[in-house]
């Protein structure tokens, strides 16, 4: 019984303290490195849309974050990056260029 109570307390601590703290630090790294990742992507656009799909683009971004930070970003949640930079908006801008 004590083990079950301790498990629930530990789970609550993880969900309320550890998980938000980890998310905060990942978001800080994303915000810090996003300008360099975007600069890298700008050099590849619009040609990247001709030969890459969304999975390839995600891997490209993860590889660039890994290269810049020296850490493995293959399993890091980078949804916050995609909120900052949405290639659908970029593609829309590229295809709707007015003279």
| 13-70: pLDDT as tens digits | 677 777 777 778 888 888 888 888 888 887 777 777 676 677 888 898 999 999 999 9
Domain spans in the chain, listed from the N-terminal domain onward: 19-95
Q: What is the DSSP letter of 78?
A: -
Place of tokens 């700008």: 42
CA dist 72 and 47 (Å) reads 26
pLDDT at 4 over 50: yes
CA dist 3 and 89 (Å) reads 51
The two three-digit tokens of residue 17, written as one number: 């303290």
């Amino acid at each position: 019984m004590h083990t079950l109570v301790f498990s629930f307390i530990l789970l609550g601590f993880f969900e309320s303290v550890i998980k938000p703290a980890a998310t905060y630090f990942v978001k800080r790294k994303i915000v810090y490195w996003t300008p360099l990742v975007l600069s890298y992507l700008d050099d590849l656009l619009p040609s990247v849309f001709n030969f890459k799909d969304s999975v390839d683009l995600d891997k490209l971004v993860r590889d660039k974050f890994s290269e810049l930070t020296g850490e493995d970003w293959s399993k890091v949640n980078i949804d916050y990056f995609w909120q900052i930079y949405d290639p659908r908006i970029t593609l829309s801008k590229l295809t709707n260029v007015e003279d």
